[in-house]
Amino acid sequence: MSVRPRKALGQHFLTDPNILRVIARLAALEPEDVVLEIGPGLGMLTRFLAERVELVHAVEVDRRLERELAGIPRTRVHWGDALALDLSAFEPPPRKLVSNLPYNVATPLVVESLALDGLQSWCVMVQREVADRFFAEPSTKAYGAVSVLVQLASARTGFHPVSREVFRPRPNVDSALVAFRRIGPAADGHVKRLVESAFSHRRKTLANAVALAGLCPRETAVAGLTAIGHAAGARAEELAPPDFVALAEALA
Cα–Cα distance, 118 to 76 (Å, whole number): 18
Q: Looking at residue 121, what DSSP letter applies?
A: E
Contacts of 186 (CB under 8 A, 6+ apart): 114, 115, 149, 152, 153
* Strand segments (E) across 80-153: 96-100, 121-127
What pLDDT, on a 0 to 100 scale, did the predictor assign at position 164?
A: 78
pLDDT at 15: 74
Q: Which burial class, exposed, middle or buried, applies to 52 when counting CB atoms under 10 A from its CB (0-12, 13-18, 19+)? A: middle
Domains for the chain: give ranges and CATH numbers: 7-182 (3.40.50.150), 189-251 (1.10.8.100)
Q: Residue 117: how many CA atoms within 13 Å on its side-chain side?
A: 2
**Average pLDDT by stretches of 10, the chain with 252 residues:** 58 78 96 97 94 98 93 97 97 97 92 97 96 97 97 98 76 88 97 97 95 96 98 97 98 92
pLDDT of residue 210: 97
pLDDT at 222: 98
Q: Read off the pTM.
A: 0.92
CA angle 7, 16, 2 (to 5 degrees): 50
Task: Report which DSSP code applies to 224.
Answer: H
